[in-house]
Amino acid sequence: MKVVIAIDSMKGSISSITANKIVGEVFSKYGHEITQVAIADGGEGTVDAVVKNNNGKKIAAVVHGLYNQKISTDFGWFETEKLAVIESAAASGIQFLDGTQKTHPLNTSSYGTGELILAAIKQGAKTIVVGLGGTGTVDGGVGLLAALGVEFFDKQHHLLSTTGGELGEIEYFSVKNLNPQLADVTFIIASDVTSPLLGDSGAVYMFGRQKGIQEDQLADYEESMRHYQKVITGENLSVEGDGAAGGIGFALRVFLKGTTYSGFNFISEQTSLEKLIQEADLVITGEGKMDKQSLQGKVPVGIGRLAKKRQVPVIAFVGSFSGDETLFAKEGVSVIVPIIDDLTTLEQAMINAEQNLKRCAERTIRLVSLVK
């Protein structure tokens, strides 16, 4: 049996490459022909996937994290194409949240993601792919823009520090100090969701809670985001992808003329994933948490849609699942298999993720073997 394995990273525990290897080793023991594809959707693991699949390299950079702490991270680099691939999660990721006021979206910024863009330009980039997903910020991208030279002012003409809590105070902005080298760079926005900036599926209401915005803060935060959009564009537009990464999608589209593209499609096209699926008998995918957000185009659903066209069954291994399985079945995800065996804490589940995934794969292959 030909098996394609393309599992997304499980945040904070297993990378796509490691997850694929674990499941691949199990299925290989039973004599199956395995093809492993490092995969991502614009969020965590995008740089690793692109670099591995296309023989690129990583360039190290020291930038500021979401609450202004110094961090060391990297971006993907392809010298011949002068192409850089950046993850917004690398500098502004949800992994830096600690549940304190310090990391509340009101007090955090995407500034470090802007610094990664500057580092890529210094390297000589002419095309920059910015993967959006897995961020802990909800600042509409003002932090990123500030790193690039955009200035935001309040009614008293005071320069703002560009955190999420200042969106409602922005009265006007200036681009006179915008880095001039940006004009020579093409930006591709690789998004893991199609959310607009505002509304029930937007940056605040859809993703704010998981980043620390309390229920009684949502309405005020949404109003501040609406005010920010009106100051920048003069109108309330609803554009798919603007709400990705806490509104970074909006900033990249409006200020840097970025073209929004499905992060999953970007990587799957590079790897000829659809052709590999067409030739397969089974596809195995997965992610850390599968829920209604996954239906917006995250990895397992993206793979399910490709496989459905070719009538190839799909098994998804997940850390946790919530939602209606029939909705995922309609998207081509045949079976969803949680990898957790018993009651445990999230911390312990993440520590044991590799062992849990291996056991789950072994159990699954035995089931598959019964119907040979």
For residue range 274-309, list pLDDT tens digits in order.
999 999 999 999 998 898 878 877 899 999 999 999
CB 302 within 8 A of CB 265: yes
Residue 351 confidence (pLDDT) above 90: no
Average pLDDT over residues 24-52: 92
Check which CATH number belongs to the domain holding 68 and give it: 3.90.1510.10
Distance CA 158, CA 146 (A): 14
Arithmetic mean of pLDDT, 84-95: 95
CATH of the domain at 339: 3.40.50.10350
- Residue 260 and residue 140 share a domain: yes
The domain boundary residue, chosen from 223, 240, 264? 264
Residues 215 and 334 in one domain: no
Same domain, 289 and 317: yes
Domain count within the chain: 2
| Residue 123, Cβ density class (10 Å: 0-12 exposed, 13-18 middle, ≥19 buried) | middle
pLDDT in tens, 134-188: 899 999 999 999 999 999 999 999 999 899 999 999 999 999 999 999 999 999 9
Confidence label for 336 from pLDDT (cuts 50, 70 and 90) = very high
Same domain, 122 and 238: yes
Together in a domain, 67 and 215: yes
Based on the domain organization, do 28 and 71 belong to the same domain?
no
- pLDDT confidence band for 125 (50 / 70 / 90): very high
**Is the per-residue pLDDT at 372 higher than 70?**
no
Q: Are strands 151-153 and 33-36 parallel, antiparallel or unpaired?
A: unpaired
Q: What is the pLDDT of residue 42?
A: 85
Q: Same domain for 199 and 277?
A: no
Q: Are residues 122 and 232 in the same domain?
A: yes
Last residue of a domain, one of 264, 299, 325: 264
Confirm whether pTM is higher than 0.75.
yes
| Same domain, residue pair 193 and 317 | no
The answer on pLDDT for 369 being more than 90 is no
Clarify whether residues 79 and 149 are in a common domain: yes
Asked whether the beta carbons of 74 and 60 are under 8 A apart, the reply is: yes
Is 371 a residue whose pLDDT tops 80?
Answer: no
Mean pLDDT of 76-103: 95
pLDDT in tens, 210-257: 999 999 999 999 999 999 999 999 988 889 999 999 999 999 999 999
The pLDDT value recorded for residue 238 is 82
- The answer to whether residues 26 and 57 belong to one domain is no
First vs last C-alpha separation in the chain: 10
Task: Examine the fold and report which residue of 213, 238, 264 is the final residue of a domain before the chain moves on.
Answer: 264
For residue 240, give its domain range. 46-264
Residues 6+ apart with CB under 8 A from 109: 64, 66, 67, 68, 92, 137, 139, 142, 143, 146, 161, 162, 163, 164
Tell me: the pLDDT tens digits for 260-269? 988 899 889 8
**Do 336 and 285 lie in a common domain?**
yes
